[in-house]
Chain A
Amino acid sequence: MPSGSASPGPASRRGRGGPRRRENVAGYVFLSPWLLGLLGITAIPMLLSLYLSFTNYDALSDFSSVEWVGLDNYRTMFTADPSYWHAVRVTVTFALVAVPLKLAAALGVALLLNRAFRGVGLFRGLFYLPSLLGGSVALAIVWVNMFNRDGAFNSLLSVFGIEGAPWVNDPRWALETLMALAIWQFGAPMVIFLAGLKQIPVELYEAASVDGANAWRQFRAVTLPMLSPVIFFNLVLETINGFQGFTAAFVLSNGTGGPVDSTLMYTLNLYIKGFTELQMGYASAMAWVFLVAIALITVVLFSTGRFWVHYSDGEDR
C-alpha cells in the first residue's frame, strides 16, 4: 500500500480458517486474469526497460548486444543534460496549472449536467466532443489556427480592444496554449464525475432536504463526501496524466517541443531521446526516474486521501 498505513497484515489473519481462507482463495481467483497479465505481459517489458536503463541501448539493436553502463544514464540526466531539468520545469508548471483547472471545469460542468432535463444526453455528448478528438492530426491544425497571430482567439480579444500575442508560436505563451488544450479536453473526468454523482443514493438528499439543508449545504454534506472517492480517483489519474502529458505537446509542436523548447514536456523529451536520437537506454532511465517521482507524488496523494476521502467500507486507503 503506498500510504504505508499500519493496517493488520495478512499474517495476523492466517489460520483463522473458514471464511478467511475462502476469501483468500477467492481473492486470487478473481485476481488471476490480472496476475496473468501482469506476469505475462506487463512485467517483462517493464523489467526489460529497467534493465535497459543501465545500458547504452540504441533502439535498433537487439537486447543482447547492449553494453552495461551502470549509472551513467542517471548521472548524465542529473548532472550533464540541461534539457532534462528544463523539461522537468515545463512539466511541473504544466501539471500545477492544468490539472486543477481541468478538474474544476470537469466537476463544474458535471454538476450542471447532473440534473435530468430535456436533451441532457446531447449536452453531455457535446461537452465530451473535444475529448473525442484525442491527439489527432486534425486537432493540431485546429489548435494552431485558433491560437496563432491571426487566429480566432485574437479576433475574440480584439473585440475587447486587446491585442493578443501569437500564442502558440510564442515561446512565452506556447505552454499556456498547451494547458488550454488539456483543459478543453475535460470530458474524461467529467464523465467519471457524472457517474459518481449518479451513484449517490437519492435518499441522502431527501433526508438532508427533510432536515432543511439548502443546496449548498447538501453539496457540502452529501455530494462532496459521497463523491470523494471519485474526486480522489480523478485527482490521482489527472495528476499522473498531467505529468505524462505527451500527446498534446507532441501534436502541437510537431514533435519538437518548440518553440525553443517551451513545450518540451518530460515524456516528449523522453520520446525524442529514445526514438529520434536513438538513445533508448537513456530514455528508459528517464522513464524510471519519472516512475519514482510520480509514485512519490501518488503516495502523498494517497496519504492525504485519508483525511478527506470517505469510503463506505470504512477502510482508508
Chain B
Amino acid sequence: MHRAPSPRAVEPTTRHHRTAFSGSGLRRRLLAALVAIPLALTAAACGDDGGEAAADPNKPVELSIFWWGAEGRAKLTEEALALYTKKHPNVTFKKTWQANQGYFDKLATLTAGGDAPDIFQIDDNYLTEYASRNVTLDLMSYKDSGKLDLTKFPESLWNYGVVDGKLAGVAFGENTQGLVFNKTLLDKFKLQAPTTGQSWEDHIAWAANVSKVAKVPGTQDPSADYKAFWVWLRQQGKDLYKDKALGFTEQDVAGWFTLWQGARSAGATPTPDVIHEGNVTDISKQLVVTGKAATSWVWANQMPELKKNTKDEMGVVAYPGDPSAQWARASMYFSVFRGSDKKDIAVDVINFLSNDPEAAAVLGTDRGLPSNLDIRKAVSDSVSDANMKQSIAVQTELGAKFGASPQVPLKGHSKVRSELIKAAEEVQFGRQTPAEAAKAYFAACQAAIGA
C-alpha cells in the first residue's frame, strides 16, 4: 500500500540541487546524490498517485488514523469509527494507537518518511511545529464550506487550533487548569477547601496552614509548571507568547519564582525532592494521590482519573487568582495530513466524530469535554461517575468566566516548558536565586522560539 508522498516529496529532485545544494563542492554533491537515491525511488514508486481518491464515492478506501491514549480510549475510538464505517461501508480504518511515550517520536518519523497517517491526534505542544512545516492540512476552507461544522464549538476553542491564519487542527475536547485537593484529608482536620477566586497569597497562606495542621504539605509548588505560570502571567496582564515573541519579561519570571520561594519558606510546599517527584511524574503518582501534598496542579478533566488511584475523596477548583485568566484549552486536536490522498474523507471523519450525536455519545468525555456544545450538554447529562460530574460542573462553571484563548504556543514550546522545570528546580534546590534563574530561563526561551 502506498500513500501519496507529501507534496514536497514529489517535487523533482533537480530543483533541490539548485536550491538546497547550489554552489556545492564535490563532497556536497556526492551527499546530495545519496539523498537523491531514496527520493528518486519515492518518485518512481509513487508516480501513479494522483489527486483525490474520492472520484468514485463508493470506492473502498482505507484511512489511517493514529492517536495516543490508553486502552479505554482505544475501545471508545474504535467503536466510534465503526459507526462511521456502518454509515459509509466503503470506508475502513487502519487504526494505530499507543501510549504517549514515544508517540511524537513515531509521528515525526512517519512524517519525515512522507508516511504520516491521514488523521492524527496532536496537542498544543506540537501543533505549531507541524503546522508551520506544512504537515497539517489547512481546514479553514472546509470550515467555511460547512463540510467541517464548527458552528456549535465555542469560538475561542476552535480558534485555539488556528496557526498563522490556518486551521491546523480541530479541537477535540476541552479542558482547563484545575487545582485538585484531597477532600478527605482536609475534612479530617476540619480545614477549609480551597476556593475558586482565592488570591495566590491567600492560597499560599492556606497551604501553609494545612501543612501545619495536617502535617501534609499544603500545595505542590507549581513554579515549574508552565500552565500555572501561564495563568499567573495572564492575571498580570501578560501572556506566555505574544505574536512571534515572548509575552513576559525576565522580571515576571523572577516575580513568579520569588512568590514560590516565599511559599516554600513559609512551609506551604513539600521539600524540593518531593516537588521534583511531582514535576516529572505521570498522573497516577501526582502528590495529591500519593499523599505527599494536599493539592496538585493538573487539568480539571484529569481529576476523575486521579481519583481512581486513591481511596480519598478529591475535589477540584480553579487555579488561584482571577479565574477569567483561564481559558478553554483544546486538550488535543485531530489534524489531517496535508500529503494525504483522502483529505475530504479524512475531514468528514473528523466532522463525524465531533458532531454526530451517536459517535459523540460513545466517545464521551474521554478526550476532554466535547467541543460541540450541544453534544457536551447531552454527554454531561448522561455522565454517571460522580467525580466526572464534579469535574464537568467545575469546567462548566469556569466556562462562563473564561477570557479569550491565548494564541497557540509557538514553535519551541516544549523547550519553553522543559526549561521552566529546570530553572524552577534550580531555585527550589537553592542553587540559584530567583533573579539568576529568571535570567537564564528568559534567555533560554528566547533561544527556543528563535527570537
Report A-B touching, CB under 8 Å. yes
**Residues on A close to B: CB < 8 A?**
44, 47-48, 50-51, 58-68, 137, 144, 148-149, 166, 169-171, 253-254, 256, 258-261, 272, 275-278
Residue B189 at the chain A interface, CB threshold 8 Å: no
B34 near A258 with CB under 8 A, answer: no
Residue of B nearest to A67 (CB): B20
Chain A residues with Cβ below 8 Å from B104 are 275-276
Among B16, B31, B426, contact of A260 (Cβ-Cβ < 8 Å): B426
**Chain A interface secondary structure, helix, strand, loop or mixed?**
loop
B425 near A260 with CB under 8 A, answer: yes
Return B257 CB to nearest CB of chain A, in Å: 14
B20 near A169 with CB under 8 A, answer: no
A169 near B133 with CB under 8 A, answer: no
Chain B residues with Cβ below 8 Å from A48 are 34-35
Residue of B nearest to A59 (CB): B108
B34 near A44 with CB under 8 A, answer: yes
Specify which of A61, A166, A272 lies most central, judged by the most chain B CB atoms within 10 Å of its CB: A61
In the bound complex, what is the Cα–Cα distance between A144 and B34 (angstroms)?
A: 45
Chain B residues with Cβ below 8 Å from A66 are 20
Q: For chain B, residues 116 to 146, give those with C-beta under 8 angstroms from any C-beta of chain A.
A: 129-130, 133, 135
User: Do A166 and B421 contact each other (CB < 8 Å), given the known contacts A62-B114, A66-B20?
Assistant: no
Chain B residues with Cβ below 8 Å from A63 are 35, 38-39
B6 near A62 with CB under 8 A, answer: yes
What are 19 residue pairs bridging A and B, where the CB atoms are less than 8 Å apart in the complex? A44-B34, A51-B35, A61-B112, A62-B39, A62-B113, A64-B16, A64-B35, A68-B20, A137-B101, A148-B273, A166-B274, A170-B273, A258-B276, A258-B422, A259-B425, A276-B104, A276-B414, A276-B415, A277-B415
Chain A residues with Cβ below 8 Å from B37 are 44
A60 near B135 with CB under 8 A, answer: yes
In the bound complex, what is the Cα–Cα distance between A259 and B28 (angstroms)?
A: 41
In the bound complex, what is the Cα–Cα distance between A253 and B9 (angstroms)?
A: 37
Q: Other than the known A65-B16, A170-B429, A256-B421, what 10 A-B pairs have Cβ atoms closer than 8 Å?
A: A47-B31, A47-B34, A50-B31, A64-B13, A149-B273, A256-B280, A258-B422, A259-B276, A275-B105, A277-B412
B9 near A62 with CB under 8 A, answer: yes
B111 near A60 with CB under 8 A, answer: yes
Chain A residues with Cβ below 8 Å from B109 are 59
B429 near A65 with CB under 8 A, answer: no
Residue B277 at the chain A interface, CB threshold 8 Å: yes
Q: For chain B, residues 394 to 419, give those with C-beta under 8 angstroms from any C-beta of chain A.
A: 412, 414-415, 418
Return B30 CB to nearest CB of chain A, in Å: 9
Residue of B nearest to A252 (CB): B280
User: Do A148 and B277 contact each other (CB < 8 Å), given the known contacts A60-B133, A67-B20, A277-B412?
Assistant: yes
B35 near A169 with CB under 8 A, answer: no
A260 near B431 with CB under 8 A, answer: yes
Give 6 closest A-B pairs by Cβ, nearest first.
Answer: A166-B273, A169-B273, A51-B31, A254-B280, A64-B16, A169-B276
Return B114 CB to nearest CB of chain A, in Å: 6
Chain A residues with Cβ below 8 Å from B13 are 64
Return B22 CB to nearest CB of chain A, in Å: 9
Residue B188 at the chain A interface, CB threshold 8 Å: no
B28 near A68 with CB under 8 A, answer: yes
In the bound complex, what is the Cα–Cα distance between A64 and B37 (angstroms)?
A: 11
In the bound complex, what is the Cα–Cα distance between A144 and B280 (angstroms)?
A: 12
B34 near A64 with CB under 8 A, answer: no
In the bound complex, what is the Cα–Cα distance between A215 and B318 (angstroms)?
A: 72
In the bound complex, what is the Cα–Cα distance between A209 and B307 (angstroms)?
A: 69
A64 near B9 with CB under 8 A, answer: yes
In the bound complex, what is the Cα–Cα distance between A277 and B130 (angstroms)?
A: 12
A254 near B281 with CB under 8 A, answer: yes
In the bound complex, what is the Cα–Cα distance between A74 and B426 (angstroms)?
A: 28
Chain B residues with Cβ below 8 Å from A261 are 422
Return A143 CB to nearest CB of chain B, in Å: 13
User: Do A64 and B418 contact each other (CB < 8 Å), given the known contacts A259-B276, A260-B429?
Assistant: no
Chain B residues with Cβ below 8 Å from A278 are 108, 129
Chain B residues with Cβ below 8 Å from A272 are 418
Specify which of B133, B276, B421 lies most central, judged by the most chain A CB atoms within 10 Å of its CB: B276
Interface string of B31-62 (1 = CB under 8 A from A): 10011011100000000000000000000000
Return B17 CB to nearest CB of chain A, in Å: 10
Residue B64 at the chain A interface, CB threshold 8 Å: no
Residue B24 at the chain A interface, CB threshold 8 Å: yes
In the bound complex, what is the Cα–Cα distance between A47 and B39 (angstroms)?
A: 15
Interface string of B318-340 (1 = CB under 8 A from A): 00000000000000000000000
In the bound complex, what is the Cα–Cα distance between A166 and B425 (angstroms)?
A: 15
Among A137, A148, A171, A277, contact of B431 (Cβ-Cβ < 8 Å): A171
Chain A residues with Cβ below 8 Å from B196 are none
Q: For chain B, residues 1 to 20, give those with C-beta under 8 angstroms from any C-beta of chain A.
A: 5-6, 8-9, 11, 13, 16, 20
B112 near A59 with CB under 8 A, answer: yes
In the bound complex, what is the Cα–Cα distance between A48 and B39 (angstroms)?
A: 12
Chain B residues with Cβ below 8 Å from A276 are 104, 414-415, 418
Chain B residues with Cβ below 8 Å from A166 are 271, 273-274
A62 near B431 with CB under 8 A, answer: no
Residue B21 at the chain A interface, CB threshold 8 Å: yes
Chain B residues with Cβ below 8 Å from A258 are 276, 279-280, 421-422, 425
Specify which of B28, B112, B113, B426 lies most central, judged by the most chain A CB atoms within 10 Å of its CB: B112
Return A16 CB to nearest CB of chain B, in Å: 36
Return B19 CB to nearest CB of chain A, in Å: 9
A65 near B35 with CB under 8 A, answer: no
User: Do A60 and B35 contact each other (CB < 8 Å), given the known contacts A254-B280, A259-B425, A260-B429?
Assistant: no
In the bound complex, what is the Cα–Cα distance between A261 and B280 (angstroms)?
A: 13
Chain A residues with Cβ below 8 Å from B412 are 277
Chain B residues with Cβ below 8 Å from A259 are 273, 276, 425, 429
B20 near A60 with CB under 8 A, answer: no
